[in-house]
Amino acid sequence: MTEIRHRINLRQFQSLIALAVMVLALSLLSDRFLTVDNGWNILRQISVNLCLSVGMTLVILSGGIDLSVGAILGLAGAIAAGLLKNGLVLATFGARLEFTVTGAIVAGIVVGAAAGSFNGFAITRFQLPPFVATLGMLSIARGLTMLWTGGFPITGLGDRFGFLGTGAFLSMPMPVWIMLALVAVFVVVTKRTRFGRHIYAVGGNERAALLTGLRVNRIKIAVYTLAGALAGVAGLIVTARLDSAQPNAGLGYELDSIAAVVIGGTSLSGGRGSVMGTVLGCLIIGVLNNGLFLLNVSPFWQQVIKGGVILLAVAIDKMNVRSRDSA
Amino acid sequence: MMGSSDIVLEATAITKSFPGVRALDGVSLRVRRGRLLALLGENGAGKSTLMNILSGVFAPDTGTIRLSGQAVEFTSTRAALEAGIGIVFQELNLIPHLSVAENIFLGREPRTRTGLIDYPRLNADAAVILKRLDLQVPPQTLVADLRVGQQQLVEIARAVSLDVKVLILDEPTSSLSAHEVEVLFGVIGEFKRRGVAIIYITHKFEELGRVGDDVTVMRDGRVVGEGTLAELTRDAIVRLMAGREQGEAYQKHVASPTDEILRVENMSVRGGLTGRKMLVDGVSVRVCRGEVVAIFGLVGAGRTELLEAIYGLHSSRTSGLVFMNGRQVSILAPVDAIEAGLALAPEDRKREGLILEMSVLENASLASLPAAVKRGLIRPRREAAHVSPYLDRFRVKTPSLGQKIRNLSGGNQQKVILAKWLAAQPKVLLLDEPTRGIDVNAKREIYAFIDELARSGLGVLVVSSELLEVLAIADTIVVMCEGRRTAEFARRDATAEKILTAALPDRAAVAL
């Protein structure tokens, strides 16, 4: 009984076909779609959403939801930009702490992780539903971003920081490098580590996970902390690309991220799905956005169509589950 | 007098299967006008499945149901209700944050001309029904604020308010006080005089003499005996339920326990609505190497709570000491319990034991993943090699290790849980109703495994509400009643009568 049969992942297969059909249709409809430049374009455009969505995938797999990632993105970007530009004024010591580019990057990620771990703490220690806890954090992080920036963009961050968003290495854009690295790491984490297995277990049946001796609370805190840290990374990319931290950066991004995860076949009730599915989900949304733009479809219609795609994806998923369970 | 025109409800050759289990196998049943049919059988005999089919919760795979001579097929409980079959489920189906009156008339609230709920009438109608049941609470009371017994009466009140031809009561007295039971019997008598046919599921023989007319006994998904209560003696019924003479039940290896592994002293668990009720009240228990200790008790005896408390699940409202190999251990959460060498297989496998979305392999390795990890990564081959011997040892039947666990039968799921724990090498297994919902052959297999595990040096603490199971597998039997430990028997001294007497609260013991 040592044989392990690998199942074909029907859901991912369907996403892949949907993506292929879209690519084929768009290449026929627009001669500007299937070009190398446009390909990089799409990848660059989805890099931010994919950073958020990898974290969101972990959270949703564990049975939760995170509405605060967009706001954390804004906060982390603003703090990194502010520290880089103005340093940290320590009024009591009458001193000013200068930040290097690396220091600012680390600070942005740490701020994201801290906000995420606060989410995890509120959810485990005070038993708040994830929806409520992260809704609170959404508002807190937005407010803090406004306080930090005074409502004005922080601009002029320099080329070295800007490299993160606009630079390229071996002719591949930096945001794409970051995105691919994160995907690679988290595919391995979810599929091949104890921590990853435990995330699936907690999302699949929290009670059973607890009775089997998993440290459910620690796992949840770790998941939200990672989601926050990844939102921090996304914040750095956005800020670096614009050479400016906008106080409103990341507004509504949590919804795009949830959409990508869901289109990618991850179940909102937890325990089922994958990071690779989310990659496909992000690609589908990215190709759709790009294609509709190239075809001069109005942005208002783009939203309507995106909503339809989400509903369709989840409806197909439900039908799959039903036919499998009754079989 | 008992002509066929008397038959209100007739089910013929009903069959129903769930994945891996044939729950009902050609069951036929007749209920007559104005008579009470007692439906008896052990847990897992198929009584509840049959009632769920009669009341429209499930559709049968094959078989027919006739109501007043007409063939019927119900697609929902509502359809069954409209046809005149009402059911009071054993588990409460009330909405806690609605009032008593709103619950009684849920779905058929009286309306005013403007279409709003007519509250004065709703409450007045409810008050009349509550009076009949002698339930002295205002109709506006929230159900959440009632005692469990009172909630059960509200559930019964809902059935009383209906104009039914057939009323099904599934263990209606399990949490009623003596007085409430009297009132219920009064209402049942009134129903019978009005010509309503009643199906009454119970474990309590003493209730039957009071209200029963006919008896149907089920075992392993079949009807094994029928008759009037006058014809069947209590012993005859017990024999039918058990299906074999008690002595020839599963024969276990006799252990001679010597070294103590687990000792629990003075364990108490508070709980209930007020948080002050003693669910478990000062219970001590001892398990030795190679010994199977069974805790027997009826519903509400605190068996499961005791097991969960030992496992660290209620640490904020538990007091008592746990010793492993003579050393006191502090267990505040399941992690601590597992570290100390305990392992729990819970009663409700699907809700508490398994990750249904995961494969057989992933479920089996979950408690011992470190053994599958090399340099930080889970190695699938190592993982399979680690758990396969245990899955093989319990003869788990699965097409592959990658099969989703949800597709296995109940017996095989339970074996995967046992394999999961064995792979983590515990010292004491805590088993909560290890054969609930498992078919009879798998049951015997599990008994044999429990015996074998004990022989290999584990201690086993089993909680069970099945008398024959306890007599079959235990070396020592501890009986609990209403949170307290009321008796302990060595295997050779234990009889069904002695155990039951210790398990029944005083009010019922007299009637036995």
**Got the DSSP string for A50-81?**
HHHHHHHHHHHHTT---S-HHHHHHHHHHHHH
Q: Which of B105, B63, B55, B60 is nearest to B80 (CA)?
A: B55
pLDDT at B381: 94
In this prediction, residue A2 has a pLDDT band, given cuts at 50, 70 and 90, of very low
Report how far residue B489's alpha carbon sits from residue B492's, in angstroms, rounded to the nearest whole number: 8
Distances (CA, A) of B279 to B293, B294, B373: 20, 18, 41
pLDDT at A324: 53
To the question of domain B259-341+426-512 being in CATH 3.40.50.300, the answer is yes
pLDDT at B4: 58
- Tell me the CATH number for domain A10-320: 1.10.3470
Distance between the two ends of chain A, CA-based, in angstroms? 24
In this prediction, residue B508 has a pLDDT band, given cuts at 50, 70 and 90, of very low
Report how far residue B115's alpha carbon sits from residue B123's, in angstroms, rounded to the nearest whole number: 17
Contacts of A210 in chain B (CB under 8 A): 334
The minimum CA-CA distance between A216 and chain B, rounded to whole Å, is: 10
Report how far residue A36's alpha carbon sits from residue A172's, in angstroms, rounded to the nearest whole number: 12
Interchain contact, A192 vs B353, CB within 8 Å: no
The minimum CA-CA distance between B311 and chain A, rounded to whole Å, is: 9
Residue percentage of chain B with pLDDT more than 70: 91
Phi, psi of B464 (to 5 degrees): -150, 150
Q: What is the mean pLDDT of chain B?
A: 86
Instruction: Please state the domain extents for chain A.
Output: 10-320
- Give the residue from chain A lying closest to B407, CA to CA: A325
Interchain contact, B356 vs A212, CB within 8 Å: no
**Is it the case that residue B370 has pLDDT exceeding 80?**
yes
Interchain contact, A211 vs B361, CB within 8 Å: no
Report how far residue A68's alpha carbon sits from residue A270's, in angstroms, rounded to the nearest whole number: 18
Report how far residue B26's alpha carbon sits from residue B223's, in angstroms, rounded to the nearest whole number: 8
Report how far residue B460's alpha carbon sits from residue B289's, in angstroms, rounded to the nearest whole number: 8
Report how far residue A57's alpha carbon sits from residue A263's, in angstroms, rounded to the nearest whole number: 11
Comma-separated ranges of CATH 3.40.50.300 domains in chain B:
4-247, 259-341+426-512
pLDDT at B211: 85
**Is it the case that residue A147 has pLDDT exceeding 80?**
yes
Report how far residue A217's alpha carbon sits from residue B324's, in angstroms, rounded to the nearest whole number: 26
pTM for the model: 0.81
- Which has more pLDDT, B183 or A201? A201
Note the residue count of chain A: 327
- Give the B window 404-463 contacts with A, CB below 8 Å: 406, 420
Average pLDDT over residues B169-191: 83
| Tokens linked to B205 | 């023989």
**Is it the case that residue A293 has pLDDT exceeding 60?**
yes
DSSP letter assigned to residue B177: -
For chain B, say whether A9 makes contact (Cβ under 8 Å): no
- Tell me the CATH number for domain B4-247: 3.40.50.300
ipTM of this model?
0.86
Contacts of B337 in chain A (CB under 8 A): 213
Contacts (Cβ under 8 Å, ≥6 apart) of B168: B51, B54, B55, B85, B86, B87, B88, B198, B199, B201
Of A78-82, B372-376, B504-508, which gets the smallest average pLDDT?
A: B504-508
- Which has more pLDDT, B46 or B428? B428
Distances (CA, A) of A164 to A36, A47, A101, A173, A242: 21, 12, 10, 9, 11
For chain B, say whether A188 makes contact (Cβ under 8 Å): yes
pLDDT at A4: 44
Phi, psi of B40 (to 5 degrees): -115, 155
Q: Mutating which of A2, A11, A127 best tests the B interface, going by the most B Cβ atoms within 10 A?
A: A2
Report how far residue A278's alpha carbon sits from residue A322's, in angstroms, rounded to the nearest whole number: 22
With contact defined as beta carbons under 8 Å apart, do A50 and A260 qualify?
yes
| Tokens linked to B201 | 């599921």
**Is it the case that residue B127 has pLDDT exceeding 50?**
yes
Contacts (Cβ under 8 Å, ≥6 apart) of B111: B117, B118
Report how far residue A237's alpha carbon sits from residue A233's, in angstroms, rounded to the nearest whole number: 6
pLDDT at B273: 59
Q: What is the mean pLDDT of chain A?
A: 91
Please state, as a whole number, how many other Cβ atoms lie within 10 Å of the Cβ of residue A221. 21
With contact defined as beta carbons under 8 Å apart, do A317 and A14 qualify?
no
Average pLDDT over residues B97-120: 90
| Tokens linked to B289 | 């190497």
Interchain contact, B362 vs A193, CB within 8 Å: no
List residues bridging with B283 in a β-sheet. Answer: B267
| Tokens linked to A26 | 């768009």
pLDDT at A321: 64
Contacts (Cβ under 8 Å, ≥6 apart) of B356: A204, A205, B350, B404, B405, B406
Give me the total of CB pairs closer than 8 Å, taking one residue from chain A and one from chain B: 94
**Is it the case that residue B134 has pLDDT exceeding 80?**
yes
Q: Which of B444, B203, B370 is nearest to A213 (CA)?
A: B370
pLDDT at B99: 93
Contacts of B311 in chain A (CB under 8 A): 211
- Is residue B429 classed as helix, strand or coil in its secondary structure? strand
Give me the amino acid identity at A263. Answer: I
pLDDT at B248: 43
Report how far residue A258's alpha carbon sits from residue A246's, in angstroms, rounded to the nearest whole number: 22
Note the residue count of chain B: 512
pLDDT at B47: 85
